[in-house]
Homo-oligomer: A and B are copies of this chain.
């Protein structure tokens, strides 16, 4: 079995655990709030790679811990990611009718329901971060620190600020400084925080957290670059959304700024930087290294 096969098995196992936990934890009692609860679950259960919660589990396992202990926390991160997708798809934002091959939330339901579903998923994230099962396993001070880290990364000075700048940049002549800022906030911040929060929960020392943070930023950037490239060269079925939609919207992306070839070279360079940043971890960094190669391979 080669490295990618081992990784794929690992990812598949974790994805299964995440999806099982999402289903188990999701509110069952619905009453008059039925519609918004259904809409939230519609989007939350729509699949996807579950990359962010898996990164959180990987960060936790770096401290020689069993990732089952923090499944509700990891699922909370997926709630934040899903809420951001629901809101980003809205007509007044990116106006995307399709998400993961299905009608996006506001298409399957309506705009008001989609806004509320996103709001409810964000609240659910914090309900799960503080879930009794997690509180039982994790030092409470450390848990508070991890929650604070995620809240910052996903808020006004993180993901939300990045989405704002992304919207404002549409159709305008951009520059590398702005593009980097958008990526660092809109996508990278939550990806980095997913990995680092898991490591915080495992009680990993500050010095190693810094290494993981540096890697997480490189990895997140690589994720965004390959995503931008896939929008241009990927096939619609695999992506579950129309190809070239960034291009049509006049989004500021690496390919729009540098062209295909230069962007591919940048992806390779970023892959190398991400892997180099793992060196101090020694053997422990192996799985993250394979994951990084795997990410790059999406565009080859």
Contacts and interface: CB of A to CB of B under 8 A. Distances in A.
Interface string A84-105: 1001001011000000000000
B130 A33 contact: no
Given A87-B115, A148-B130, A168-B35, A123 B160 contact: yes
Contact of A119 (B37, B112, B124, B160): B160
B167 A152 contact: no
Nearest to A84: B119
A120 B36 CA distance: 20
A85 to B, nearest CB: 12
What is the size category of the interface that chain A forms with chain B?
35 or more
Contacts of A287: none
Interface in A99-118: 110-113, 115-116, 118
Contacts of A158: 123
Nearest to A118: B119
A151 B164 contact: no
A157 interface: yes
A190 to B, nearest CB: 11
Given A32-B181, A130-B151, 12 more contacts: A33-B160, A36-B160, A36-B161, A115-B115, A119-B122, A119-B160, A123-B152, A123-B156, A124-B156, A127-B148, A135-B141, A144-B144
Nearest to A158: B123
A127 to B, nearest CB: 4
A162 interface: yes
A174 to B, nearest CB: 11
A120 B155 contact: yes
A31 interface: yes
Given A92-B112, A185-B33, A87 B119 contact: yes
20 contacts: A27-B157, A32-B161, A32-B185, A33-B156, A36-B156, A37-B161, A93-B112, A115-B115, A116-B163, A120-B160, A123-B155, A123-B158, A124-B155, A124-B156, A126-B147, A130-B145, A131-B148, A140-B140, A140-B143, A140-B144
Contacts of A157: 27, 29, 33, 37
A130 B145 CA distance: 7
A257 interface: no
B127 A155 contact: yes
Top 6 nearest A-B pairs (CB, nearest first) are: A33-B161, A123-B155, A140-B140, A120-B156, A32-B165, A36-B164
Contacts of A147: 126, 129-130, 147
A40 interface: yes
Nearest to A160: B120
